[in-house]
Amino acid sequence: MHISDGIISVPVCLAANAASVLIIYQIGKKTEPEDIPKMGMMGAALFVASLVHFPLAGASIHLGLFGLAGIILGKRAFPVIFTALLLQSLIFQHGGLLTVGVNSINMGAGAFVAMLLWRWRTLPEYVRALLAGFAGIIVPVTLMAVEFQLSGYGRGIVYLLSIYLLAALVESGITLSIVKFFRSVKSDILP
């Protein structure tokens, strides 16, 4: 899910980085001090979760927890995702450095959609958790597939989506488990 350098054109990457910095600045201004420890903990969870890889249908996939980030942090998930991706790129060379902005926007969009789904109060909580977890993966992958297509790397997109469809199902189950856990031990963490 992490796009490497050299796939997306440099002007697009630079524009995405600039947009990311602007979004972070805007969100940072509105962040209250009491939200920051939660952001730090979620950042640590995102950073580590992406490093746990498991093989699936000949590919290697990993957890994202972007849906969970969207549930817990809402819009504030974006700076957290950006920081986690930047450090993954610098320390593990997991994803490109120039494409951090593009990757953050892709995955931040997943968290944003998850936040919207979570706030859909007419649905039961477990359904919202499942949908948020699912969207947290499938939205970034769809955006990534579109970007690959536009960059001339269209082959294998269907395969990519089918692989990540399974990953999104796994992720939605994990998100539901975590939400249920938080609901039972620390309910106030969930908005």
Partner 1 sequence: MPKYFLLCIILIFMINSDSSAHDVTVEITKSYPSVIVRASYFQAEPLSYAEVMIFSPENDVVEYQYGRTDKSGYFAFVPKSKGDWKITVDDEMGHFIESVVTITADFFTGEGATVIVAHTKHGSTIRDLRPLYKIIFGLALIFGITGIFYGFKARQMLQSKPDKH
Binding site for partner 1 (CB under 8 A): 28, 31-33, 36-37, 39-40, 43-44, 47-48, 51, 83-84, 87-88, 90-93
Helices (H), 33-156: 36-49, 66-73, 77-92, 100-118, 125-150
CA distances 161 to 9, 22, 119, 139, 142, Å, are 22, 30, 26, 10, 7
The smaller minimum CB distance to partner 1, of residues 81 and 141, is found at 81
Min dist. Cβ of residue 42 to partner 1 (A): 10
What size, in residues, is the chain?
A: 191
The smaller minimum CB distance to partner 1, of residues 2 and 128, is found at 2
Answer yes or no: are the C-beta atoms of 28 and 122 closer than 8 Å.
no
Min dist. Cβ of residue 93 to partner 1 (A): 7
Min dist. Cβ of residue 116 to partner 1 (A): 26
The smaller minimum CB distance to partner 1, of residues 93 and 149, is found at 93
Answer yes or no: are the C-beta atoms of 79 and 40 closer than 8 Å.
no
The smaller minimum CB distance to partner 1, of residues 77 and 117, is found at 77
Answer yes or no: are the C-beta atoms of 137 and 165 closer than 8 Å.
no
Min dist. Cβ of residue 92 to partner 1 (A): 6
